[in-house]
Amino acid sequence: MAYKRILLKLSGEALMGDRQYGIDPARLAEYAQEIKKIVDKGIEVAIVIGGGNIFRGVAGASNGIDRVQADYMGMLATVINGLALQSALEDEAIKTRLLTAIKMEQVAEPFIKRRAVRHLEKGRVVIFGGGTGNPYFTTDTAAVLRAIEIDADVILKGTRVDGIYTSDPEKFKDAIKFDSITYKDVMSKGLKVMDMTAFALSQENNLPMVVFDMNIKGNLEKVISGENIGTKVDK
């Protein structure tokens, strides 16, 4: 295996499947089955999910909601997604723990670094909810922050696109895919991989990242095995 401990970043929109909003149980089950394949291989898995399928802070702020309030609403949306994924994983007989940046003891444990690492060492999948716990930071930033804190080998960003392109491949048919690219080139070319705060944090801490299509069965397992799937970002 190319990696021992990973942080998987999933967007909230990915959980919608073909729906316009909310959570698609079929898509959730597919993700749980894909994650089970790598857990069964002994990979330590942590997950951060966005909340855009339920509520997006920036969009809420643009509609007149106070930005701080809107961001907290978005954080709560990530906890809802975390609970849904936890349930789907447990349906696959995977032991899980949901840790949140905002205390809500009835549904999740508070985030404590040593506790999170201990859960991973015991083979439990750890889901991080509530973003960073602070407004003005995205779940991309939360993913990088948690990956650094738990000393993950890599961030795997599961998207609906099979890597990083010169332009949006869904809009431009002549877009060219990168098999690998450096942090420096991503910055100089202005490619949108993550928001700039998250990307800068990843670069500063030499944390490699792989962007791949999570919706193709077997892709997650292939990335873990070191196959050339998606686009790798490194120093």
The pLDDT tens digits of the residues spanning 195-210 come to: 889 988 999 999 999 9
**How distant, in Å, are the alpha carbons of 35, 168, 191, 211, 219 from that of 214?**
10, 17, 20, 9, 6
Q: How many CB atoms are closer than 10 A to CB 218?
A: 12
pLDDT for the residue 161: 87
DSSP secondary structure letters along 65-133: S-HHHHHHHHHHHHHHHHHHHHHHHHHTT--EEEEESS--TTT-EEP-HHHHHHHHHTT-EEEEESTTS
User: Which residues lie closer than 8 Å to 2 by C-beta, 6 or more apart?
Assistant: 223, 224, 225, 226
Q: Is residue 179 packed enough to be buried (19+ CB in 10 Å), middle (13-18) or exposed (0-12)?
A: exposed
pLDDT for the residue 107: 94
**Residue range of the domain that includes 45:** 5-234
pLDDT for the residue 2: 85
The structure's pTM equals 0.94
User: Which residues lie closer than 8 Å to 219 by C-beta, 6 or more apart?
Assistant: 34, 212, 213, 229, 230
Please state, in angstroms and rounded to a whole number, the distance separating the CA atoms of residues 32 and 95: 12
The pLDDT tens digits of the residues spanning 134-174 come to: 999 999 999 999 999 999 999 999 988 899 999 888 888 89
Min mean pLDDT across 9-13, 188-192, 217-221 is at 188-192
What's the structural domain count of the chain?
Answer: 1
Output the domain CATH number for residue 35: 3.40.1160.10
The mean pLDDT value for 230-235 works out to: 93
- pLDDT band at residue 117 under the 50/70/90 scheme: very high
The mean pLDDT value for 107-132 works out to: 97
The mean pLDDT value for 10-38 works out to: 92
pLDDT for the residue 19: 86
